[in-house]
A and B are shown apart, each in its own frame.
Chain A
Amino acid sequence: MRSDVLLALLVGAPLGLAAALGAMGRNRGAWAGSLLLAAETVVLLWLRPTEGTIVFSLPWIEAWGIFLAFRLDGLAWVFAIVVTSIGALVLAFVPAHMPHHMETHGDRRPLRSLHQLLLFFVASMLGVVLADDLLTLYVCWELISVASFLLIGFHLQDPESRRAALHSLVLTAGTGIFFFASLMVLFVEGGNASLHDLLLRPVGWLGELPAAPIVAFGILLTAAAKSVLLPFYGWLPAAMIAPTPVSALLHSATLVASGVYLLARFHPLLGPLPGVDFLLLGFGTTTALIGGVVALLRTRLKEVLAWSTISYYGQAIVLIGLGARSAAVFFFAFHAFAKAGLFLVAGAITHTTGAEDIRALGGLWRTHPALALLTLVLALGLAGFPPTAGFWMKELLFHAAYGSGNLGWIAAAFGAAILSVAYFARLLYCVFLSPPRAAYERPRGAPLALVLVPAALATIFAAGGHPTVARFVGNPLPLDPLDLAVPSPWRPYTYAALVCLPVGLTLFLWFLQRRPFPGGLDDPQTPNQVLRRLARRVGFSRLFEGTMILLGWLGGWAARLQTGKLAHYATFLIAVPIVAGLVFLPSAMPVLPTPPPEPEEAPLLAVVTITLALAALALAATLVQSHVSAIVAVGGVGYLIAILFALLRAPDIAFVQMVVETATALLLLAALSRIPPALRERVLRPEARRSRAARAGTAIASALLGTSLGVALFASMRVVSDPTLGKAFYPLTEETGAASVVKTILADFRAMDTLGEISVFATAVLGVVLLIGRLREVPPRGTARRSETRSKES
């Protein structure tokens, strides 16, 4: 198979499978998703771009140069393979874990919908990382928001869950609007929708445009919201209410990673702009430190992991801000494996013990040695212990921070690294080493599948410590001059990474001594008031609540606009386009290239088909036994004729035909409703009263009339009019300044006809109104209301 088709299949196959699962039985096909994604991982391994890239492109809106386009380059490959491999493993975790989980939540829905949603999500994420076209990128980007909304709110009956889903949607999709604006500006200013082309231009072309800040603002904002940077991170801990596999997929490798992907992808474009890197670094370091501190204080297992994810994504964005894109990609990839593993281990722990709070857990290393070992590898590795990939993550962070020469960033890197050692040590201690707290719900070892899946992730993560694997995953194509420096381990940064370990352990021991089992933020016993207040202040859902209040206010305002008064609507409708037109039109008009001229000949097959359908409908109109059906059939004939006009390149006539036909059908229906049913019945069935001969006479007369009309029309078509006649209007057109000859003919030659026609029309309308009997009195100005109420009283 051609490799570009294969590329499109990578995105299309999960979507197709999600649709196919819908057609299967309740719990069939539980393994299909996992197998498909595993196969996609293998395909990606095979497609690994070492020298060139693979491009798939399908015309979408060709006139504007918009394509459904995917491109597999180094950056896309790393993200894609992480997404598919973690997706495969998480989907394999679902059948082992979810039935029990659903049972405890009292949810009886089939698991199929979860499989479908996860596949839909993976497909849209793959779409984002592979997209090579601005519109493709944006569409997939918003599909991610939709899919994550559905996944986070998976427990539909739980209000908390719905609220968390809304929280993430408001922040991630709400900022998507700005992303769209950015992409539109890029499209218009860059004159091209191809991402590849826009990014490959000489560095700094964007900086010369006046609209550059808009582009930067939109992309940074939407990436910050998805990647849980400082003001937006509230949605991630709230989203922990979702089932564990959802958390593992969304919050390690995909949803949150999409922001990092976007920044890594657009950094060559945005990096040269002044202030962008500083913003990334400032917000990244602050987020990394706040996430670390809060992770040290939270007590629910998944929330600790959530805050550590926030901290780690802050660090990844710091790496991008420092210009170390390939380091950031490496950082993302192995963090994703480790964090997905940790989430799944947390799920397995809750699965077997029924407890979620780390204060209620303890001593699990005796009962769950396998889980303990996995957590040891994953958590300590992520904290930076060699020889896992986590060590290289820390090493690269220090490398990049030193390279910047800025003391602030170096200090922040140290802070984040030390905090991560402390909170992972606390996690390990509280869950596995401390004395057991209580009798657990099911005090036995975890089911095999619940161990095997995180074990696979831990293996990948540990293997990443080996330079060969690290380079294979992290470096398929050199992204920028800062190549992965794995081969020369003993650099100063290596020692810096090592120094953090004892310091972090010391911090944890101090923490342990002060408060052996910290109550966490919600516990009034928490001694450290300052820390508590800080954590509450920096936290949680202020932004969301504020946004919701703002939205509610806007909604109320919008509802007040709906006064129900035509005059108000008319004012808005006329004023807004005029203002917008005056502001935007002069600059916007030349932007869109005009579509190429369309082929002249009408499609014969369509014309013939429609003509046949037309004849059938016309026949039906004479045969049906109900007035309403007859009117509908006649209306259908009119619409088909309109379509014929449109096909024959007469859109103006088609439009008139359409509107007139609608009006006629409606008027007929209205008139019909005025006729008493008994009378209607009599008209409909004339057979009872009329003789056969009379009916035959009517039929013959109708047929004659119709035929002669048709012959006359056909004959008039044969009359060839003098082609020079139209030319006479050329000089007149120039004289009057009309835009086209046709318009001149209509406006100057036919204007008297038109004037006559509308006079006749107006007279006819007045005639009908008078005939029907009540020419309503127009009440004097300002008394309409009063007469209205009077009539109600009487």
Chain B
Amino acid sequence: MPPTAPPRPSPPSGIFQIASRLVFPALVIFSAAHLVNAELSPGDGFSAGLLLGLSIVLLYVGLGVPAVDPGMPRLVRFGLVWGLSICIGLAVLPLPFGQNVLRTFGIDPWGFHLSTTLVFELGIFLVLAGGTLDLFRSIGLEADEEVP
């Protein structure tokens, strides 16, 4: 079975390449901010992860599959596996301390608020980003390969 062999007829236009390169960092930073903001203001790992996945889909469209796809399967699996592991690990973490499952903790060093909630959200974020990307790769790339 051949691995990804993307037969794009021609790379996307220059304008599109530049635009996606310009927009991508902004999207990533926005999604990271959205993740970190989860505690105080509107923001959560779910939509942040979805946004990150979509922004990488944008890169696929903008830069062409051959430029982005190498190494991507590994990244996708990384997101899915580690995201789930983090969430489940965090869920059972309080048990040895005699607490309930999924109990969260928070501290306030130097005026910042840190909480295990954030780590949980990070797990969700990873699952969503990886999952979205996997969906798009499996559906979108196959379709691409059918183009003669």
Q: When the two chains form their complex, are residues B135 and A765 in contact, meaning their CB atoms are under 8 A apart?
A: yes
- Residues of B near any A CB (own CB < 8 A): 1-5, 21, 24-25, 28-29, 32, 34, 38-40, 42-44, 46-47, 50-51, 53-54, 56-57, 59, 63, 67-68, 70-75, 77, 80, 83-84, 87-88, 91, 101-108, 113, 115, 117, 120, 123-124, 127-128, 131-132, 134-140, 142-143, 146
Main secondary structure of the interface of A (DSSP, over half): helix
A-side contacts of B120, CB under 8 Å: 747, 751, 754
Query: Does A768 interact with chain B (Cβ within 8 Å)?
Result: yes
Pick out which of these stretches binds chain B: A24-32, A63-71, A346-354, A735-743.
Answer: A735-743
- Cβ of A771 to closest chain B Cβ, rounded Å: 9
Whether A738 touches B39, Cβ cut-off 8 Å, given contacts A564-B67, A754-B124, is yes
Give chain A's interface residue range (CB within 8 Å of chain B): 35 or more
Query: Does A707 interact with chain B (Cβ within 8 Å)?
Result: no
Q: When the two chains form their complex, are residues A674 and B146 in contact, meaning their CB atoms are under 8 A apart?
A: yes
- Residues 186-233 of A at the B interface (beta carbon under 8 Å): none
Question: A652, A772, A784: which contacts B43 (Cβ < 8 A)?
Answer: A652
Which partner residue on chain A sits nearest B144 by CB separation?
Answer: A673
- Contacts A755-B91, A768-B135 given; 5 further ones with Cβ under 8 A? A566-B71, A655-B43, A739-B113, A747-B115, A785-B70
- Residues 565-611 of A at the B interface (beta carbon under 8 Å): 566-567, 569-570, 573-574, 577
Main secondary structure of the interface of B (DSSP, over half): helix
Q: When the two chains form their complex, are residues B71 and A738 in contact, meaning their CB atoms are under 8 A apart?
A: no
A-side contacts of B71, CB under 8 Å: 566-567, 784
Q: When the two chains form their complex, are residues B51 and A747 in contact, meaning their CB atoms are under 8 A apart?
A: no
Q: When the two chains form their complex, are residues A666 and B117 in contact, meaning their CB atoms are under 8 A apart?
A: no
Q: When the two chains form their complex, are residues B68 and A740 in contact, meaning their CB atoms are under 8 A apart?
A: no
A737–B21 alpha-carbon span in the complex (Å): 40
A577–B29 alpha-carbon span in the complex (Å): 8
Q: When the two chains form their complex, are residues B40 and A656 in contact, meaning their CB atoms are under 8 A apart?
A: no
Q: When the two chains form their complex, are residues A660 and B50 in contact, meaning their CB atoms are under 8 A apart?
A: yes
Which partner residue on chain B sits nearest A577 by CB separation?
Answer: B29
Q: When the two chains form their complex, are residues B54 and A662 in contact, meaning their CB atoms are under 8 A apart?
A: yes
Q: Mark A374-396, 1 if CB is under 8 A from B, else 0.
A: 00000000000000000000000
A-side contacts of B53, CB under 8 Å: 663
Q: When the two chains form their complex, are residues B74 and A784 in contact, meaning their CB atoms are under 8 A apart?
A: yes
Whether A656 touches B47, Cβ cut-off 8 Å, given contacts A736-B104, A778-B74, is yes
A792–B3 alpha-carbon span in the complex (Å): 10
Q: When the two chains form their complex, are residues A755 and B51 in contact, meaning their CB atoms are under 8 A apart?
A: no
Q: When the two chains form their complex, are residues B5 and A573 in contact, meaning their CB atoms are under 8 A apart?
A: no
Pick out which of these stretches binds chain B: A101-109, A485-493, A756-764.
Answer: A756-764
Interface centre among A574, A740, A758, A761 (most CB of B within 10 A): A758
Which partner residue on chain B sits nearest A747 by CB separation?
Answer: B117
- Cβ of A218 to closest chain B Cβ, rounded Å: 27
- Cβ of B17 to closest chain A Cβ, rounded Å: 10
A-side contacts of B124, CB under 8 Å: 754, 758
Interchain residue pairs A-B with the least CB separation, the first 5: A737-B106, A652-B42, A765-B131, A670-B140, A751-B102
